[in-house]
Amino acid sequence: MQLSDFGKKYTARTGILELIDDLGKAAVNTGEQYMLGGGNPAVLPAMSEVWKRRLTELSADIEAFEAGLSRYHSHTGRPAFVNALASLLRENFGWPITGKNIVVTNGSQTAFYLLFNLLAGEAEDGGRRRVLFPLVPEYIGYADQPRSAGDLVGVRPHIERTAPHRHKYHIDFDALELTDDIAAICVSRPTNPTGNVLTNEEIAKLDTIAQAHGVPLLIDGAYGMPFPNIVFPEAVPLWNENIVLGLSLSKLGLPSARTGIIVASEEIAEAVGSANAITSLATGTFGQLMAEPLIQSGEILRLSNDEIRPFYLEKSRRTLEWIDELFADQLDYSVHESEGAFFLWVWFRNLSITTYELYVRLKERNVIVVPGTYFFFGLDEPWEHADECIRINYAMPDNEVRRGLEIIAEEAIGAAVSDPTPSPATASNPDAESERRP
Ligand code: PLP
C-alpha cells in the first residue's frame, strides 16, 4: 500500500494507539490483569442506575426511540440537547449562551482533532500556525492530532514541592512566548495525566493573554466543570466568547456513546459543525438521548457534585495512602497533588531504567500503566523528567488498584539504583525552594 502523507502520519505507532490498544486487549482478556492504564471511568452504582432507568424510559417510548435513533440528525447536535445545555449553562453560570454556541461531536477526542486542524497548520496567509500548550505534560491524545508534529508547542512547568513526596506543576508564565505563529492556547482542566487543576489565577491570566493576542483559549473539561466535575479544590469555571470549552459524556459513565461537546463562539461552533458534516456526516444521538432529560432537569449537576466527585475524591485519597505505604523508605518518588480527574502522576527518580521500560516490565506482569514520555510533546529539547514519570488510573475496583500498586512497587524497587543521588523528588522540606528544572 502506498500511503499518503496523511496516511503515514495517522498510521504511525503513536502513544494514543498504544494506550487504546492496551485498553482494547484488556477488555477481552479474562485472565489476571490490573488495568491502571487508559482513561476508563469507574462504574458507579448510582450512575448505572441512572443509565438503566434512561434505557428503560427510551425503550418504553418507541416513537421517541425511533425518532431519536432511526434517522440521521443534524451535524451540530440534537436541538433539544444543545438548547437544554445552553439553558443549563446560562442559568447556573450566567454565560451568555444559546444553542448556536454549542456543537456536539462524536467524542471530545474528535472535537480536538477538528479544532487543532481548523486552527493550526498552513494558514490562509501562507504562514504556519501552531497550538501552544502552556503546561506540558498534557493529554497524550493531543500529541498526534495535528497534521504536522511541528504544529504543537509545549512549555515546561514550574515545579512546586508541596509536601514530602508531593509536587504540583504551575504554568511558567516567564517562559510563555506568544509569537505571531500561535493559533490557539490549549489546556486540560483537570489535567490528564497529572490530576492538576490550574488555579483560577492561572486560567484568568491565560484568558487575558489569549485575548490580548487575539487567539482562542481552548479549555478541555472532559473531567471538569460543570460535569462530571471531578475537581477537588475550589475552582471557578470560565467561559467567554474567546474560550472554547470542551465537554464530554464519557467520564459520566458513557465512553462508548462517543459524545463530545464544544461550547464556543458561534463562529467556531459553526466551523466545527461544518467539519463534522465532512468527517462524520451527523452526530451520534445515543448519548444525547441518554443525557437530555438530566440536562433539562439539572440532575446532571447534582449527580456530578453528589455522586461522581465524592466517589473519585475518596478513591484518590485511598490510592495515595497505598502508594505512600508501599513506596515510602524504599523509593525516591513524588506524586503530583491529586486535584481532579482519576489519575495519579508518579515521578520516580533514581531508577536504572526509563519509565517506558518500567511500563514494559509491568505489562509482562499484567499491570498496565501509561509511561510518561508520551505526555511531553512540543518541547524544543528533550527533558529527562519525561522518562521518570508514569500515569496511574485509580478508577478500577480497589482490589485491582491495590494489587497493581504492589506489583509497581516491586518492579520499581527492583529497578532502583543502589547508590542514589539526592533528589528533589523526596525532599522532606516542603518549604524548600521550588524549581523549574529538577
Ligand atoms: N480530553 C481529555 C483530557 C481526555 O482525557 C480524554 C479521554 O480520556 C478526551 C479528551 C477524549 O474523551 P472522549 O473522546 O471520550 O470525549
DSSP string, 289-323: HHHHHHHHHSHHHHHIIIIIHHHHHHHHHHHHHHH
For position 424, what pLDDT does the model report? 54
Assess whether pLDDT exceeds 70 at residue 48: yes
Rounding to the nearest 10 degrees, give the CA dihedral for residues 66, 71, 77, 82.
Answer: -30
Assess whether pLDDT exceeds 60 at residue 213: yes
- C-alpha grid cell, residue 435: 524549581
Distance CA 312, CA 224 (A): 12
Q: Do residues 415 and 352 lie in contact, with contact meaning Cβ atoms separated by under 8 Å?
A: yes
pTM tops 0.85? yes
Percent of the chain as helix, strand, coil, to the nearest 5: 45, 15, 40
- C-alpha grid cell, residue 166: 508531593
Average the pLDDT over each of 1-10, 111-120, 244-253, 300-309 and give the range with the smallest value.
Answer: 1-10
Assess whether pLDDT exceeds 70 at residue 428: no
For position 16, what pLDDT does the model report? 79
Task: Return phi, psi of residue 367, to 5°.
Answer: -110, 125
Kindly state the average pLDDT of the residues 276-280: 96
For ligand 1, pick from 250, 258, 276, 342 the residue to mutate: most ligand atoms within 8 Å of CB.
Answer: 250
Ligand 1 proximity of 107 Cβ (cutoff 6 Å) = yes
Ligand 1 proximity of 192 Cβ (cutoff 6 Å) = yes
Angle of helix 355-364 relative to helix 398-415, nearest 10 degrees? 120
Cα–Cα distance list, 418 to 308, 331, 359 (Å): 42, 11, 21
Assess whether pLDDT exceeds 80 at residue 220: yes
Question: Per-residue pLDDT tens for 159-175?
Answer: 999 999 999 999 999 99
Ligand 1 proximity of 109 Cβ (cutoff 6 Å) = yes
- How remote is the CA of residue 417 from the centroid of ligand 1, in Å? 36
Distance CA 298, CA 87 (A): 10
Ligand 1 proximity of 99 Cβ (cutoff 6 Å) = no
Q: What percent of the chain has pLDDT over 90?
A: 83
For position 437, what pLDDT does the model report? 36
Assess whether pLDDT exceeds 50 at residue 435: no
Question: Per-residue pLDDT tens for 71-92?
Answer: 999 999 999 999 999 999 999 9
Is residue 20 very low, low, confident or very high in pLDDT (cuts 50, 70, 90)? confident
Ligand 1 proximity of 248 Cβ (cutoff 6 Å) = yes
For position 433, what pLDDT does the model report? 37
- How remote is the CA of residue 142 from the centroid of ligand 1, in Å? 9
Is residue 434 very low, low, confident or very high in pLDDT (cuts 50, 70, 90)? very low
Ligand 1 proximity of 250 Cβ (cutoff 6 Å) = yes
What is the residue-averaged pLDDT of the chain? 93
State the closest ligand 1 atom to the C-alpha of 260, by its place in the atom list counted from 1: 16
Q: Residue 46: which residues within 8 A CB-CB, separation 6 or more?
A: 303, 307
Q: Do residues 142 and 133 lie in contact, with contact meaning Cβ atoms separated by under 8 Å?
A: yes
Between these two residues, 325 and 421, which has the higher pLDDT value? Answer: 325
For position 125, what pLDDT does the model report? 87
Burial of 32 (C-beta count, 10 Å sphere; 0-12/13-18/19+) = exposed
Ligand 1 proximity of 255 Cβ (cutoff 6 Å) = yes
Assess whether pLDDT exceeds 90 at residue 158: yes
Assess whether pLDDT exceeds 80 at residue 253: yes
Give the CA count within 13 Å in the CB-facing half-sphere of 180.
Answer: 4
Question: Per-residue pLDDT tens for 369-409?
Answer: 999 999 999 999 999 999 999 999 999 999 999 999 999 99
The length of the chain is 438
Q: Do residues 185 and 217 lie in contact, with contact meaning Cβ atoms separated by under 8 Å?
A: yes
Q: What beta strand segments (E) does 230-378 contain?
A: 243-248, 260-263, 332-336, 343-349, 367-368, 370-371
